[in-house]
Amino acid sequence: MRALAILWVILFHVFQLIGVFMDRGEFERLFLAVEADPLRGWVLRGDHGVDLFFVLSGYLITRILMHEQEQTGRVRIPTFYWRRFLRLMPAYAAVLLLYVASRAPNYQNAWANVLYLNNFLPVSEQAVIWSWSLAIEEQFYLVFPFFWLAVGQRRHAVWAMVGLLLLGVGIEHALVVRHGFTMPFTIDPVMQGEAGQRYFDSIYDKPYTRYTPILAGVLVAYLLGRTRVAERLQAAPVLAHGVLALALGTLGALLAPRTFSGEWGPVESTLYLTLYRSLFGVSVAALLLLIQAKAGGGQVLGRFLAWRALRPVAQLSYAAYLVHPLVIFGLYGSMPFGDAASVSLLELSAMSLGLTLLVSLVLHVFIERPLMRLRPA
């Protein structure tokens, strides 16, 4: 899933960042043409690639904590934070140094990135704007070990997590209503317009509106490790296939609408903005549950996601996330962009992906991997 997540994010930014270099009217024309194309429209929903990462992160981190509890009977919280630091900060620091040295936009505010507080700055003042997701993860994991120690071994842990998922939906709904946000989304490549900035600053990059996919991953890890849900799904294929159909159907319903155009009524608009991200995270978590339980078609999904060709991409996914906008900006800055008809998204995608993976490999081999080896067991 990591490989699919990073590829989706990169392809989304390959397209989105064209808007920085192209005439606004031509870009909007190209944007709406892509949205109307059933073979390409999914690219415009690449922000969900981050939600995929969040689900996987919650699942994997919780599995690590559960394994430590099983082996030692406790969770070493200082060790947990040190492992997170060695996993994320070395490669991140290298990118931040490059960003500051090049005096890129808002470079003077990189201090907030070092403290993982950049998502609380207005988007117009953020350095390395795409790193808001790292801040959300670290804010979540700042409190998560304590939550896990308090709840993780209790009988009603599932209901505590379901309650927090519903709380997240409630917060999202309150903010959507308070700010009067409506569909369709604004076509705004780097959140330069008032509407885009307002949505980004109040909802898009805040931990209290984006934690639900992470928590959905946590819930999957708990169900697999502390309950007999895997056995029950294996013993009830009708139920397992029902979960599969519901998850895939929900994902299809979320991704099918034209979210940047079309007519939206006030009720459906509010419902979509309130629910779409949490429902996406829960649906992906349901698929992850089936894959790990090897039930309801999970074996087939698991074999596809374990495809050997995707493994190098998955291994480089963190480095690729850090560097790909820099690579795309560098590439586009050396290219002329004319009208919409002259843009070849296939060529841009191939060049951007190739260069991103090459730069990511260097970052991974010389910085990320050596320092990851220092992490305590």
| Mean pLDDT over each residue of the chain, to the nearest integer | 92
pLDDT at 171: 97
For 135, other C-beta atoms within 10 Å of its C-beta total 22
| pLDDT computed for residue 346 by the predictor | 86
**Residue carrying structure tokens 């040190």:** 82
pLDDT for residue 338: 59
Residue 336 has pLDDT above 80, yes or no: no
Write a three-state SS string for 177-225.
HHHCCCCCCCCCCCCCCHHHHHHHHHHHCCHHHHCHHHHHHHHHHHHHH
Of residues 102 and 192, more confidently modeled: 102
Q: In this predicted model, which residue has the larger pLDDT, 156 or 324?
A: 324
For residues 24 and 284, give the distance between their C-alpha atoms in angstroms, rounded to a whole number. 34
Average pLDDT over residues 349-376: 92
Instruction: Tell me the three state secondary structure of residue 348.
Output: helix
Residue 40 backbone dihedrals phi, psi, to 5 degrees: -120, -15
Is residue 220 over pLDDT 90? yes
Q: Which of 109, 85, 87, 89 is nearest to 99 (CA)?
A: 109
How far is the CA of 216 from the CAs of 167, 173, 211, 258, 335, in angstroms? 13, 18, 9, 26, 42
Could you give the CA distance from residue 265 to residue 92 in angstroms, rounded to a whole number?
42
How do residues 98-113 score in pLDDT, each as one tens digit?
999 999 999 999 999 9
The band of 39, judged by pLDDT with boundaries at 50, 70 and 90, is confident
Alpha-carbon dihedral sign for residues 324, 329, 330, 335: positive
Of 44, 92, 97, 4, the residue nearest 255 (C-alpha):
44
pLDDT tens-digit profile of 41-63?
A: 999 999 999 999 999 999 999 99
